[in-house]
Structure 1
Amino acid sequence: MLFSEIGLGPEVLRAVEDAGYSQPTPIQEKAIPWVLQGRDVLGCAQTGTGKTASFTLPMIDILASGRARARMPRSLILEPTRELAAQVAENFEVYGKYNKLNMALLIGGESFGDQIKKLERGVDVLIATPGRMMDLFDRGNILLSDIKILVIDEADRMLDMGFIPDIERIVGLLPKIRQTLFFSATMPPEIRRLADAFLMNPREITVAPPASPAATVTQAVTMVRNEDKREALRHLLRTEEVKNAFIFCNRKRDVAVLHQSLTKHGFNAGALHGDLAQSKRTETLEQFRQGEISLLCCSDVAARGIDIAGVSHVFNFDVPHHADDYVHRIGRTGRAGKTGRAFMLATPDDSRTLGAIEKLIGREIPRIMIDGLEAPDMSEGEGDGGRRRRGARGGSPRGDAPKSPSRRRGGASAEAPRDVPVAPEKAPEVQEVVEARRPERQERPERAERPERAPRDRGGRNERGRDSTRTEAPREARPPRQEERNDRNDRSEPRRRWREEDDGPSVVGFGDDVPAFMLRVARPVAAARAPGAFDGTDTPEA
């Protein structure tokens, strides 16, 4: 079947012909007609089969008629990584060059001002990562009430990166009547549940078994010790006819260390991971695409959707923790029907993870040996599941290593037993020895009483400087402050007390020394009044 037989418009067919394509891939052949009919599509195909074009081509044809309004995009494409979003934007520029469609790319690491200006002019196609998308929405720069088409690409990667809560929130903000396209290379149960929640009567399209590598990729695994991995990688790079290659590591810091090691040994290598600035990531990926860099040390940020033609090799310096990631990594080679080679370096700690990968792909990966390197005993790492636990010393799992005496509470030594029975009473002879050794208590000498000082004549003042001529009122004449305080704090009585004295109502304050401006006249105590009398509180009768 040809592209002209699928139902695409003349402008799109002309752009596809200019790109050098004439026949669609299986996923494109089956998905494009259903997308053009407005149906929801659930597409699952192995990586490198052209899933991106299966939704970009019909979207351009559908959006060709109509006009976008300011801050109200007509379609939304969500991607897990910045590199994949930028690649989809490039595809729209290639296939939509004969259609007058406005496009905006919203990814992190770029200027907010430039992205907001594009949104204010109105965009037909909005390509974004979930994080930057929600940032601009919370700022009020995007309105999602006019979305007609929603595309969730690489949904399984969205799940791995923790974007599912953001995806659920975004979908909740979209109109209920829309067309949703859901594409993924693997279909775990979690993704299946999300698809059932987001899609309405979808057309499910599966052109290859889920999580299956391309048949054009030759796979092999090399069993080495952990300290020999770099030497084994350099041997493979020198013996294989490597045109360009991806070298995947599990951790970002390992990417930087491996890049430095390869550069030191004379290899033309670059580094790509999530901690780099977006400008540096874009520059490095473009250098690799143009051939200025032949080896790209990267993390899983480059494992999904990166389409670079002619990649000859993929090296897994670390065995991926998740078996699905292995399929995506080696999918960077052998694309569009071309051949490729994929090698993986495994240590005894990776035995269980390697077994999970082989179970997923349904076959055993061939083992190869490297001359000059001793083959390790693979039975050494079968117990720890392929991952060395953090905090373990000497290869022992966490908790097996004895704690130092300084870490124990109370400074007890590690050799001392924890549960020591203590006798309730000591033997009589032991008690006698203890009493004999105990030093006798000595009575503290009593303090000698200080002699009274004779009063000094200070001109009417005593020794403390007070006026001795001033007479003080006897205690009985003082106001009962303590009784008043107790009476005031009594919770069983009202807080405020109203007192009636001979000269009229008293004032209420916070004490005897309260300033006059804080005092106010209290309400008089309610008194009995004659029926029908007016006291100023009720409305008088007419």
Structure 2
Amino acid sequence: MDHPDHLTTAPGAPTPAAPPIAFADLDLPAEVQRTLADRGVHTPFPIQSATLPDALAGRDVLGRGRTGSGKTLAFGLPLLVRTAGRRAEPKQPLALVLVPTRELAQQVTEALTPYADALRLKMATVVGGMSIGRQTAALRDGAEIVVATPGRLHDLIERRACRLGRVRITVLDEADQMCDMGFLPQVTEVLDQVHRDGQRMLFSATLDRDVDQLVRSHLHDPVVHSVDPSAGAVTTMDHHLLVVHGPDRYAVTTEIAARDGRVLLFLDTRHAVDQLTRHLRASGVHAAALHSGKSQPQRTRTLAQFRNGQVTALVATDVAARGLHVDDLDLVVNVDPPTDPKDYLHRAGRTARAGESGTVVTLVLSAQRRETHRLLAEAGIEPTITKVRSGEAELTRITGAKAPSGTPLDGGPAASRPKNSHEPFRGLGTGKGASSRGTGGRSRKATEARKLAEARKAARVRRGN
């Protein structure tokens, strides 16, 4: 994990915090100023105030800020303004934004499209899971701005459908996640192909290890800005460790998901996500699953439904831990505790965005409590620890939990209710390495012991007969 003072090891030194400015004070074209005003955007976020003057001047920029801090306009407006007036040749874009996930690519494209349209610039989104033929056609038609994930961009370069030699502005957004996902070789390959004298902007929530390597080898005398706290330092975010009895995880999770308002629930595996989603929908909760096994159209539709409130419980793997922005999301639940401090911070960063408040809840069994508390301490988090049971007022106070309607949403039978509220949920993940994983909440040894006992009882009965 990095710390703010770690930035002193990067080229350049952090600049002092910029005084508050208005977009009207910046040297932006009238078309951009008008679009900002039309969208009700008047005052820059701190990362924007800090970086926009340098980025508009063509400086290389190294910016640290958590997701939700306003980085997209911080790099997007300079990229568009400095590209305006030029036209791309077929297959040869003029500016590139590289991001780690499909969702973030689409989010960046949506955020910048109004300003690109105002400046008459064409944008193309290049991501996996979508038609490569359409993306090839968009590049062939001469897109000035390309927003891409590293894998798909690499494929298009290999097919000679894209050449980067005319790219004079390159942005790496969420650079630490791209490195964590193993994209460092593709990112380095891209930076080696863009125009040698072009502008590079690197934005990241953390600036450690491989990110340092990218900065040292590919940024030229960058101005360094670190103006936004990590998720652990956000004062509007509350962190809770809820200690649950193992068999009660079923009811606790279901009641939290049935709350009024939206909730994002994280689990470790795609299978666990699908299992929980099916159960929640059978219980009457408007839930949907998001993971890498879903097609891109499915993922896009699910996120749209979560944003507009048709889906109130989004059940996801860590594919949703970065680059996902949802306004007014006030609760994130780690049904499976993360195993890395950075993963916790990225999951937590889905709430309390742009100055709003939010709550992060992690469910732990008694045996997981010490290890999870240690992990949170490494992340700079001091959570409130509470033992809870399903149906208790304390669970409702912290999370808004309530009993689900029990009316299935997709037809079929209602979800079976346990005879008591502490029956285990079959299929719900319980954390990496937990003994109940993959055995419906009962360990393999326990199952084998039960079968052996039943066989012995049957043998005794036979002998008695």
Specify the TM-score bucket, using the shorter chain as the normaliser.
Answer: 0.7 to 0.9
State the match for 2:341 in structure 1.
323
Match of 1:275 among 281, 293, 315: 293
Question: Which stretch shows the higher mean deviation, 361-370 or 273-282?
Answer: 361-370
- 1:257 paired with 2:288, answer no
State the match for 1:127 in structure 2.
147
Match of 1:366 among 363, 380, 384: 384
Query: Which has the larger share of helix?
Result: 2
- 1:33 paired with 2:53, answer yes
- 1:188 paired with 2:208, answer yes
Percent of paired sites with the same residue: 36
Match of 1:244 among 249, 252, 262: 262
State the match for 1:288 in structure 2.
306
Q: Distance in 2 between matches of 1:259 and 1:391?
A: 16
TM-aligned CA distance change 1:352 to 1:170, over 3 Å: farther
Q: Is the 8 A contact 1:271 1:297 kept in 2?
A: yes
- Aligned pairs for 1:104-253 within 5 A: 104-210=124-230, 212-238=232-258, 242-253=260-271
State the match for 1:20 in structure 2.
40
Q: Distance in 2 between matches of 1:31 and 1:128?
A: 22
Higher RCO structure, 1 or 2 (CA under 8 Å, sep 6+): 2
| AA aligned opposite 2:344 | Y
Question: Which stretch shows the higher mean deviation, 264-273 or 309-318?
Answer: 309-318
Q: Distance in 1 between matches of 2:298 and 2:347?
A: 22
Q: Distance in 2 between matches of 1:43 and 1:118?
A: 30
1:250 is displaced (CA, Å) by 1.5
Match of 1:312 among 301, 305, 330: 330
Q: Is the 8 A contact 2:22 2:43 kept in 1?
A: yes
Q: How many matched pairs?
A: 386
- 1:69 paired with 2:77, answer no
Q: Distance in 1 between matches of 2:333 and 2:209?
A: 29
| Structure 2 SS opposite 1:337 | coil
Q: Is the 8 A contact 2:176 2:206 kept in 1?
A: yes
| Structure 2 SS opposite 1:96 | helix
1:150 is displaced (CA, Å) by 0.7
1:372-396 deviations in whole A, cap 9, x for unaligned?
599xxxxxxxxxx974489999699
| Structure 1 SS opposite 2:186 | helix
1:71 is displaced (CA, Å) by 0.7
1:272-312 deviations in whole A, cap 9, x for unaligned?
10011111111111111121111110111111121111212
Alignment gaps of 5+ in structure 1: 375-384, 397-542
Q: Is the 8 A contact 1:388 1:395 kept in 2?
A: no
State the match for 1:81 in structure 2.
101
Aligned-residue CA RMSD (Å): 2.5
State the match for 2:14 in structure 1.
none
| AA aligned opposite 1:320 | P
Q: Distance in 2 between matches of 1:54 and 1:228?
A: 45
TM-aligned CA distance change 1:33 to 1:68, over 3 Å: same
Question: Which stretch shows the higher mean deviation, 218-227 or 284-293?
Answer: 218-227
State the match for 2:410 in structure 1.
none
TM-aligned CA distance change 1:210 to 1:288, over 3 Å: closer
Alignment gaps of 5+ in structure 2: 1-20, 393-430, 446-465
State the match for 1:298 in structure 2.
316
Q: Distance in 2 between matches of 1:213 and 1:155?
A: 21
Q: Distance in 1 between matches of 2:383 and 2:206?
A: 20
TM-aligned CA distance change 1:226 to 1:163, over 3 Å: farther
Larger Rg: 1
1:353 is displaced (CA, Å) by 4.5
Q: Distance in 2 between matches of 1:144 and 1:366?
A: 50
| AA aligned opposite 2:64 | C
Question: Normalising to structure 1: TM-score of the pair?
Answer: 0.67
Q: Distance in 1 between matches of 2:367 and 2:174?
A: 30
TM-aligned CA distance change 1:143 to 1:230, over 3 Å: same
Match of 1:10 among 30, 33, 40: 30
1:210 is displaced (CA, Å) by 4.4
| Structure 2 SS opposite 1:208 | coil
Q: Is the 8 A contact 1:79 1:127 kept in 2?
A: yes
Q: Is the 8 A contact 2:376 2:382 kept in 1?
A: yes
1:49 is displaced (CA, Å) by 1.0
| Structure 1 SS opposite 2:162 | coil
| Structure 2 SS opposite 1:168 | helix
Match of 2:352 among 324, 327, 334: 334
1:190-234 deviations in whole A, cap 9, x for unaligned?
322222122111111001344535222222110124433222122
